[in-house]
Amino acid sequence: MTPKELLYKYWNILYPDTDISRLEKFLTGLKTQQNDVLSSSDDWYKDAIVYSLYVDLFNKDFNGLIDKLDYLQDLGVNCLWLLPILDSPMRDAGFDIRNYDRIRAGLLGLEEDYTKEEQELVFGNFLKEAHNRGIKVIFDIAINHCSDEHPWFREARKSEDNPYRDYFIWSKDTLLYGDARLLFKGIEDSNWEPNGDGWYYFHRFFNFQPDWNYKNPEVLLAMSDNLLYWQQMGIDGFRADAIPYLWKEDGTNCENLPKTHIVVKFFRALLDYVKPGTLLLAEACQKPKEVVKYLGDGDECHAAYHFPLMPMMFKAIAAESREPVVHTLSPEVTPQIPENAQWFTFLRVHDELSLELVYVSEEDRRFIHEYYCHKPEWDFRVGEGISARLSELMQRDPQKIALAYSLMLTLTGTPVVYYGDEFGKLNDEAYYKEQIKLTGKDDTRFLVRGRIDWQQLENDLKDKEGFHSTVYETIKNMLAARQSMKVFGRGESEFLDSPGEILAYIREMPGEKVLVVNNLSSEQQNFKHPLPDNNLVILHNEGFLMDDHRQEMVFEPHGFVWFAVLD
């Protein structure tokens, strides 16, 4: 079926009692580049090294970001993931969106009353500069909820008969959707917030973020308009925030419902209909067997985060054992994904090191939390997460940081570098306290955000023996090695037999093959050469020696090596 035919199909599933002419009217006049294919063959995201940043915290605004594009290109980045940039009161770091077709004025360097033409000039110039350097750009869009300052919600809460009332979810019975779990345990005590008139509105996240009501087809079309506006501007993709919760049905946990998937498929078909090749990235904080459903048959999201792999990489280092990673990437835990789909992997992002029981066991949660939560104030959601930067979690040990990156950069998928981690950025206590005063919420995730002081960083990087310079040079070299071969983003994986402290694997695709060996132990380890008859070329190594006489690899504590296998 063509994308246009799929749009009709999905509409009829979601809204069987709504006249199809409403969809026909919406589609009339859309400027399409291609409308006769199911999906694009452009899978650029498989070769991406993604860099995640807040524009203002990174370097003030988009003009400041343009000034640092050469830094990012030199680092080895070819895709920017812009954390929330849309107009927002900023009570949840921009995930509380007030206007979906506006960027925050401060990020544009404009006054609050700027025109849309001015926005398109500034943002369009940034996109041009990024694209000229071969850097793709994606950004966050929260499609499950908005800010309580969104104009439509402000209208909706005025009266029961307001035209925008049905864009949101209302009830006088707070037992409705009672099986929906509380996502912000320890921060919110209910999914219902009183409106002050006997009515309550539904929210899955903060109480100032009302959920959209996708049972109303006008909500689906309004969100579609938002996506198309930015696609037309030149955005290369969207990180679809919090998608497992889109559709609600009483008597269910309101997660991963069949019609949630239909909504996402509708968005994918729409993007393909207008301009194939626009990435749709699923932020579905679930077990892999649930996450793969958001990839569909190659007709839903193009890619998804592999959330469970992240804590298992940390566990592997803490337990000095290959088992957590090998088990997590085994077929019984991580199902096969469509040929055109991709996992996105990460060590740290803007959120906490998440240990939600939806994808780790209670035993794993306790073990990882006890090992890495070095300070009580890093605790998040009553033990279900740790708010700390990678450098802090690894106790500012450059070798352990490098080992963690070795795992992320060479295991399956597309890696995400969180801004500042490339030079060992630390937790930002001052920013954390500042945000508590601003938001009124003791959200420890603010510890892992914070601004970059470029003058200080420049000085730090001049000290070649210093911590920040050591981490930066190591990570930069590792990214270059990763970019030198497509197999890291596209190859199949084969884990090799090894002692428990050694994680060794081959990544292979037609024409390319690599061997990666990681010492997860805090002690020196020797490992028998697994491919003695092959010609190996070192792509990168830290703490590694080859004993050719004994045909053994010798690793210092937390050492590793990447080889290109030539024959």
Q: What average pLDDT does the chain have?
A: 95
Specify the DSSP class assigned to residue 426: P
Please give the Cα distance from 211 to 263 (Å, whole number).
Answer: 15
Q: Residues 149, 150, 151, 154: is their CA dihedral positive or negative?
A: negative
* Among 85, 369, 126, residue whose Cα is nearest residue 241: 85
Q: Please calculate the CA angle 248-254-260 and round it to the nearest 5 degrees.
A: 65
What integer is the mean pLDDT of 512-528? 98
Distance in angstroms (rounded) separating the CA atoms of residues 15 and 9: 10
Sign of CA dihedral 115, 116, 117, 120: positive
CA angle 32, 33, 39 (to 5 degrees): 100
Residue 40 has pLDDT above 50, yes or no: no
CA separation for the pair 132, 155 (Å, rounded): 43
H-type alpha helices, 133-169? 151-156
Residue 35: per-residue pLDDT:
43
Q: 281 by DSSP, 3-state: which?
A: strand
pLDDT of 321 reads 98
Closest by CA position to 246, among listed 287, 312, 202, 199 = 202
Mean pLDDT (whole number) for 505-528: 98
End-to-end Cα distance, the chain: 43
Domains and CATH numbers, the chain: 44-146+218-307+336-397+414-483 (3.20.20.80), 147-211 (3.90.400.10)
DSSP string spanning 445-484? Answer: GGGG-----HHHHHHHHH-TTSHHHHHHHHHHHHHHHHHT
pLDDT score for 357: 84
Residue type, 205: F
Sign of CA dihedral 178, 181, 186, 190: negative
Residues 491-512, mean pLDDT to the nearest whole number = 97
517: Cβ contacts below 8 Å, ≥ 6 apart: 498, 502, 503, 504, 527, 530, 553, 555, 560, 561
CA angle in degrees (0–180, nearest 5) for 383-522-559: 110
Average pLDDT over residues 192-204: 96
HSE of 275 in the Cβ direction (CA atoms, 13 Å)? 16
| Range of lowest pLDDT (347-361, 422-436, 501-515) | 347-361
Tens-place pLDDT, residues 424-479: 999 999 999 998 998 787 889 999 999 999 999 999 999 999 999 999 999 999 99
Residues 6+ apart with CB under 8 A from 353: 310, 311, 314, 368, 372, 385, 386, 387, 388, 393
> Taking residues 11-20, what's their average pLDDT?
97
Q: How far is CA 369 from CA 307, 318, 374, 530, 566, in A?
A: 16, 11, 9, 35, 42
Largest CA distance in the chain: 83
- Cα separation, 305 vs 299, in Å, equals 17
Q: What is the pLDDT of residue 339?
A: 93
pLDDT digits (tens, 9 = 90+) for 232-282: 999 999 999 999 999 999 999 999 999 999 999 999 999 999 998 899 999
pLDDT band at 486 (very low <50, low <70, confident <90, very high): very high
User: Phi and psi (nearest 5°) for 532?
Assistant: -65, -20
Segment 516-541 shows an average pLDDT of: 97
Is the predicted pLDDT of residue 37 greater than 50, yes or no? no
| Interval 167-186 mean pLDDT | 94
Is residue 36 very low, low, confident or very high in pLDDT (cuts 50, 70, 90)? very low
Q: If we measure between CA atoms, which residue out of 566, 526, 565, 524 comes closest to residue 546? A: 526
Q: How far is Cα 204 from Cα 82, in angstroms, rounded to an integer?
A: 23
Q: Which tens digit of pLDDT belongs to each residue from 51-61?
A: 999 999 999 99
Element (H, E) at 264: helix 258-274
> What confidence score (pLDDT) does residue 38 get?
41
Residue 85 in contact with residue 104, Cβ under 8 Å? yes
Cα–Cα distance, 266 to 136 (Å, whole number):
24
Is residue 74 over pLDDT 70?
Answer: yes
The SS3 assignment for 136 reads strand
Instruction: Give the burial class of 460: count Cβ atoms within 10 A of its Cβ; 0-12 exposed, 13-18 middle, 19 or more buried.
Output: middle
Question: Is 380 in a helix, a strand, or coil?
Answer: strand
Give the residue among 371, 421, 432, 369 at the shortest CA–CA distance from 396: 421
- Give catalytic residue positions: 241, 283
Which residue in this structure is represented by tokens 């049972």?
Answer: 215
327 has a pLDDT exceeding 70: yes
Is the CB of residue 193 less than 8 Å from the CB of residue 201?
Answer: yes
Low-confidence winner among 177-186, 298-307, 530-539 (lowest mean pLDDT): 177-186
Residue 156 three-state SS: helix
Q: How confident is the model at residue 39 (pLDDT cuts 50, 70, 90)?
A: very low
pLDDT digits (tens, 9 = 90+) for 120-175: 999 999 999 999 999 999 999 999 999 999 999 999 999 999 999 999 999 999 99
pTM above 0.75, yes or no: yes
- Compute the average pLDDT of residues 111-123: 97
pLDDT in tens, 206-233: 999 999 999 999 999 999 999 999 999 9
Q: What is the pLDDT of residue 33?
A: 62
**Which residue, chain included where needed, has tokens 């940043």?**
53
